[in-house]
């Protein structure tokens, strides 16, 4: 829960429901910790202080490196004060910020991000249809897409080693090639040697 906002009970229940749905969604790629309601179990450090995003995305490797943060808002919390306090703080971290807002508040969220220059990696809208909640991707940061493209284009160490090995194997050997001038000189030398051998032989006279 935001430290500057007290949501109505109904909105808080919807907020926490969305958090748990997103936990299941992101669990395929990350180790996900959540801070629903008033719980403060998964902090991140900003400066010298702990902050508690709605979802904390960590790598599934042993080091559990921070990979992203997710903030879920309701209609009451999409406002200028929340954006300056929460969104701007999380967006300054070196990990992507994923922002989820109700579909009716998407235009307000986009305007706040533009006015306050808050770089959001992904902006999502959600809305409830009966017992189901639907998520729609509204905006993705072009900077995040460029970084993914550069990471995909960057060769892996094993691939670089394999390419180097193939280049060593397929490197052609150097061979000496006789040029036309060299062939002519060789041929001229052969003729001169033959003439010398002919001159050194005594001429045979025909018998009368």
Domain boundaries, the chain: 9-154
CA within 13 Å, CB half, 59: 8
Cα–Cα dist 121/145, whole Å:
9
For the segment 118-133, the average pLDDT, to the nearest whole number, is: 94
Structure tokens at 11: 């909105």
41-74 pLDDT, tens digit per residue, is 999 999 889 999 999 999 999 888 999 999 999 9
Higher pLDDT, 128 or 166: 128
As a CATH number, domain 9-154 is: 3.10.640
Look up residue 104 and give its DSSP letter: G
pLDDT at 208: 42
167: pLDDT confidence band, cut at 50, 70 and 90? low
For the segment 126-138, the average pLDDT, to the nearest whole number, is: 93
pLDDT at 185: 46
Cα–Cα dist 167/185, whole Å:
37
137: pLDDT confidence band, cut at 50, 70 and 90? very high
157: pLDDT confidence band, cut at 50, 70 and 90? low
Please calculate the CA angle 48-49-53 and round it to the nearest 5 degrees: 135
pLDDT at 87: 96
Cα–Cα dist 101/125, whole Å:
5
Please calculate the CA angle 116-98-109 and round it to the nearest 5 degrees: 40
Classify 164 in phi/psi space as left (phi over 0), alpha (psi -120 to 50) or beta. alpha
């Amino acid at each position: 829960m935001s430290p500057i906002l007290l949501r109505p009970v109904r909105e808080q229940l919807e907020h926490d429901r969305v958090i748990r749905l997103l936990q299941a969604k992101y669990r395929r790629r990350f180790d996900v910790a959540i801070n629903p309601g008033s719980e403060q179990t998964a902090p991140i450090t900003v400066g010298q202080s702990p902050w508690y995003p709605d979802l904390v995305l960590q790598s599934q490797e042993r080091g559990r490196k921070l990979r992203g943060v997710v903030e879920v808002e309701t209609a009451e919390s999409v406002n200028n004060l929340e954006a300056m306090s929460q969104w701007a703080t999380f967006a300054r971290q070196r990990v992507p910020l994923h922002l989820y807002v109700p579909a009716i508040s998407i235009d307000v969220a986009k305007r706040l991000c533009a006015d306050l220059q808050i770089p959001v990696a992904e902006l999502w809208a959600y809305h409830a249809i009966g017992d189901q909640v639907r998520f729609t991707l509204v905006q993705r940061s072009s900077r995040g897409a460029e970084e993914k493209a550069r990471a995909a284009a960057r060769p892996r160490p094993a691939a670089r080693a394999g390419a180097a090995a193939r280049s060593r194997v397929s490197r052609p050997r150097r061979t000496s090639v006789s040029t036309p001038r060299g062939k002519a000189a060789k041929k001229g030398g052969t003729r001169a040697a033959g003439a010398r051998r002919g001159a050194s032989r005594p001429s045979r006279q025909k018998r009368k």
